[in-house]
Amino acid sequence: MQNGAQIEYDYSVAKAFTFATILFGIIGMTIGVVLAFQLAFPQLNNLAGEYGTFSRLRPLHTNGVAFGFALSGIFAAWYYISQRVLKVSLKESPFLMAIAKLHFALYFITILLAVVTLFMGISTSKEYAELEWPLDILVVVWWVLWGISIFGLIGIRRERTLYISLWYFIATFIAVAMLYLFNNMEVPTALVSGYGSWIHSVSMYSGTNDALVQWWYGHNAVAFVFTTPIIAMIYYFLPKESGQNVYSYKLSILAFWGLLFVYLWAGGHHLIYSTVPDWMQTMGSVMSVVLILPSWGSAINMLLTMKGEWQQLQTNTLIKFMVLASTFYMLSTIEGPIQAIKSVNAIAHFTDWIPGHVHDGVLGWVVFMIMAALFHMVPRMYKREIYSKSLMDTQFWLQTTGIVLYFTSMWIAGITQGMMWRAYDEYGSLVYSFIDTVTVLHPYYTIRAVGGLLYLIGFFMFAYNIYKTIRCGRVLDKEPVNATPVAA
Amino acid sequence: MFHWFEQRPFFFAVLVFLFISFAGIVEVIPDFAKQSRPSVGTKPYSVLELAGRQVYIKDSCNACHSQLIRPFKSETDRYGMYSLSGEYAYDRPFLWGSKRTGPDLMRVGNYRTTDWHENHMYEPSAVVPGSIMPAYKHQFTNKADLDTAYAEAYTVKTVFATPYDQDLNGDGKIDVELGDYETAIAKAKEDAKAIAAGMKNEAIKADVEKGQIPEIVALIAYLNSLK
């Protein structure tokens, strides 16, 4: 292909992952809303026998949104962005094309199997690593396929220098591979003993060590699924959509390498006042605070990219989504370090403030950014204008309201409960029995469930808007350069 | 310097790996052996208790209950002695949990009884008014998987040298017996009869008599062992 000639990018795999993003988003978030209502109205636990209890559904929600929804979005963005920043089409290599298709197929099968096994209660119990060993092996296979796709495409690239987004994708690939392998080290019991269920396994680590490895993984699964690939997206989509250059290359370098170095230390903050050695807890706590620097480095770099162009917030709803995402990223990455301070953690740990923190991060930052990415990609992949601007705007405000209801109610719930657990009367007796600290949360659980429901309704509007765009958006004769065209 | 790496994907990836593996090496590895040493008096789980532990995991009790008592007076007053690392030496996986939607269960065996659990698991709000815990009625009909529990015990004994069939406290008697498959299953069924004797539900007693162990019996055996 000659210089200057238009490269025909191939979006078949990106489209497949886009479909999966919306499907798993609907499933995962719907279960999330059910869970929220169950905490407020416990009768809802009895609707589907053993398969409908809060406890059985909770891993389905976390796995569904993290590894179903978010990962699909990340892979969709990868198969879209990579071709463009490397200046190479997937079509040029039949081998890489086959790898990419296999990657999607195996990934999709794994998530479906995950849904079935988790419903059945087949679980290792380790958070975000609940899948049993046969599924772990499948995960490793398609992760390696993704790696081949990453380094294969890079190998045949025309653009010599790797764009910032690619740094973050590479980091995601390597870090998750390392974390996942070490945390899922387990021994299948039927293979050793010849008895019992073939799918059951037992962890290679015990007790405190298991906890340490688990939270080294658990915290950094957040880092390398909910942070680095999402930063990869915003570094591509925000400059592209706004027509602005990234504010600072130096800040990008500082934020990237800083994040990689510091993030992995912070897992210890999940284990403060536990039985892991005190020095590890302190390291986890200190490094969590240091983590503010690289996190805010990226967020500020993004916000300053909009310098002098803030009027785009009024004209372009997509910019609004991405600016709000960066802002929630800043909120979430200051809140996390606060919770990691030992004296705050003493109150916050084990309370609803923790899910509150997770959700302002994922709802405000991760999901908003993934939806913005899809809004940017779909019109270019299908060569159609976005179906409705008013639907986008309504969705934006509905979901923003939902997030605010969610995290404010959980802040209050968490701090209320944390303070009640430690309240003493003048005779030195505990004031509240445990159940007192549960019933008091009912109003906050109700508000949170309503917030979640608003957010879910917004997501359905998003899915409908994307569907209508693909089916009957006005056809575009050439690809838009920057701002994505939206029908009024 | 970084610009050089940005044009060389292989070296870039190597540098990324060095940056991210550093923390794990310094933080996770040094105290690995020390932390896995059992406390005096800590014993491996019996087969019936392990079957109950598997029910605990299957129904994801750890989604709402912690098993970690922090060293605060408000926690030791409520739940008992704070947790020690060695007490978890035979916990594979660990079940500390991350959220206390319900109370901590680290030492629940000290202050709840078989009878209490039987009523509570069937209808929590009948025992604790205002409880938001789901009812786990299916545990009264589903059967515990003793085979898989035996498989787990056998695996940790052979692979991780968990001390089954050993005299741990030097009193000349074996502390936790495992033995071969037939012995272990027979022992678990005997243990189940002892639990069922403390329960009211006639159907449960009949099942246990027939050698069919409902999940609830195994779960209660496990919960009673948490001390």
Distances (CA, A) of A212 to A183, B32, B121, B170: 10, 9, 31, 32
Stretch A53-78: mean pLDDT: 97
* CB crowding A447-486: b at 16 or more within 10 Å, else e: bbbbbbbbbbbbbebbbebbebbbeebeeeeeeeeebbeb
Query: What does the angle CA A263 – CA A269 – CA A270 come to, to the nearest 5 degrees?
Result: 110
In the predicted model, what is the mean pLDDT of residues B180-200?
96
- Mean pLDDT over B134-143 rounds to 96
pLDDT confidence of A1, banded at 50, 70, 90? very low
Give the helix/strand (H/E) hosting A187. Answer: strand A186-188
Distance CA(A175)–CA(B16), nearest Å, equals 8
Q: Is the pLDDT of residue A123 over 80?
A: yes
Residue from the list A178, A273, A430 with its beta carbon closest to the beta carbon of B78: A430
DSSP conformation letters of B113-157: -HHHHHHHHH-HHHHSTT--PPP-GGGGTSBP-HHHHHHHHHHHH
Output the pLDDT for position A432: 97
Phi, psi of A115 (to 5 degrees): -60, -45
Torsion A337-A340-A346-A347 (CA) sign: positive
Q: Which residue of A has its CA nearest to B10?
A: A151
**What integer pLDDT is reported at residue B25 of this predicted model?**
85
**H/E element holding A186?**
strand A186-188
Rounded Cα–Cα distance for residues A333 and B22 (Å)? 22
Whether pLDDT at B31 is above 90: no
Residue A136, pLDDT > 80, answer yes
Residues 6+ apart with CB under 8 A from B33: none
Output the pTM of the full model. 0.95
B26 confidence band (pLDDT: 50, 70, 90): confident
Least confident of A69-73, A125-129, A153-157, A222-226: A222-226
What is d(CA A79, CA A92) in angstroms, rounded to the nearest whole number?
14
Q: Where are the alpha helices (DSSP H) in A87-185?
A: 94-120, 133-155, 164-183
Nearest to A189 among B57, B142, B148 (CB): B148
Partner-chain residue, chosen from A59, A154, A421, that has the shortest CB–CB distance to B9: A154
The answer to whether the Cβ–Cβ distance between A206 and B133 falls below 8 Å is: no
Report the percentage of chain A scoring pLDDT > 70: 99
Residue given tokens 């006042």 in the structure block: A273
Of A39, A162, A430, the CB nearest to B74: A430
Across A153-157, B173-177, B203-207, least confident range: B173-177
Using an 8 Å Cβ cutoff, are A420 and A437 in contact?
A: yes
- Reply yes or no on whether the pLDDT at A221 is more than 50: yes
Chain B residues 29-68 with a CB less than 8 Å from chain A: 31-32, 35-36, 54, 57-64, 66, 68
Averaged pLDDT, B42-54: 96
Taking the C-alpha atoms of residue A480 and residue B63, their distance in angstroms, rounded to an integer, is 47
Question: Following DSSP, what letter does each residue of A424-448 receive, concatenated?
Answer: B-TTS-BS--TTHHHHTTHHHHHHH
Would strands A201-203 and A186-188 be described as parallel, antiparallel, or unpaired? antiparallel
Q: Could you tell me if A411 and A351 are in contact, meaning their C-beta atoms sit under 8 angstroms apart?
A: no
User: A157 vs A245, B22, B138, CA distance in Å?
Assistant: 22, 30, 57
Nearest to A143 by CA among A184, A102, A197: A102
Locate A35 and state its tokens. Answer: 């869970």
Q: Which 8-state DSSP code applies to residue A277?
A: -
Could you tell me if B115 and B126 are in contact, meaning their C-beta atoms sit under 8 angstroms apart?
no
Mean predicted lDDT score pLDDT of chain A: 95
The pLDDT, as a whole number, for residue B104 is 97
Under 8 Å between Cβ of B70 and B42: no
Confidence of residue A5 (pLDDT cuts 50, 70, 90): low
- The two tokens of residue B102 are 């319900």
Is B172 in CB contact (< 8 Å) with chain A?
no
Residues of B (94-133) whose Cβ lies below 8 Å from A: 94-103, 125, 128-133
Please name which of A414, A281, A445 lies closest in space to residue A350, comparing C-alpha atoms.
A414
CA distance B187 to chain A (A): 17
A28 Cβ contact list (under 8 Å, min separation 6): A60, A61, A63, A64, A65, A68, A69
Higher pLDDT, B153 or A220: B153
Q: What is the tens place of the pLDDT at every residue in B56-109?
A: 999 999 999 999 999 999 999 999 999 999 999 999 999 999 999 999 999 999
* Alpha-carbon separation of residue A390 from A319, A377, A462, A487, B59 (angstroms): 15, 19, 11, 9, 44
With CA atoms as reference, report the closest residue to A487 among A394, A383, A385.
Answer: A385
Q: What is the pLDDT of residue B22?
A: 87
Question: Sign (positive/negative) of CA torsion A26, A30, A33, A35?
Answer: negative
CA angle A51, A56, A58 (to 5 degrees): 130
CA distance A304 to A372: 19
- Share above pLDDT 90 across residues of chain A, in percent, rounded to a whole number: 94
Lowest-confidence pick of A3-17, A376-390, A454-468, B196-210:
A3-17
Eight-class DSSP state of A362: I
User: Which residues of chain A make contact with B65, given a CB cutoff of 8 A?
Assistant: none
CA-to-CA dists, residue A37 to A34, A452, B63, angstroms: 5, 9, 16
pLDDT per residue over A341-364, tens digit each? 999 999 999 999 999 999 999 999
List pLDDT tens digits, range A305-353.
999 999 999 999 999 999 999 999 999 999 999 999 999 999 999 999 9
Mean predicted confidence (pLDDT) in A278-297: 94
Chain A interface mutation, best of B79, B145, B148, B215, highest count of A Cβ atoms under 10 Å: B148
Mean pLDDT confidence for A371-386: 97
Which one of B28, B31, B125, B158 makes the best mutation probe of the A interface by having the most chain A beta carbons within 10 Å?
A: B28
> Taking a C-beta distance cutoff of 8 angstroms, is the pair A19, A111 a contact?
no
Contacts (Cβ under 8 Å, ≥6 apart) of A443: none
* Three-state SS letters, A6-26: CCCCCCHHHHHHHHHHHHHHH
**Reported ipTM exceeds the 0.90 cut:** yes
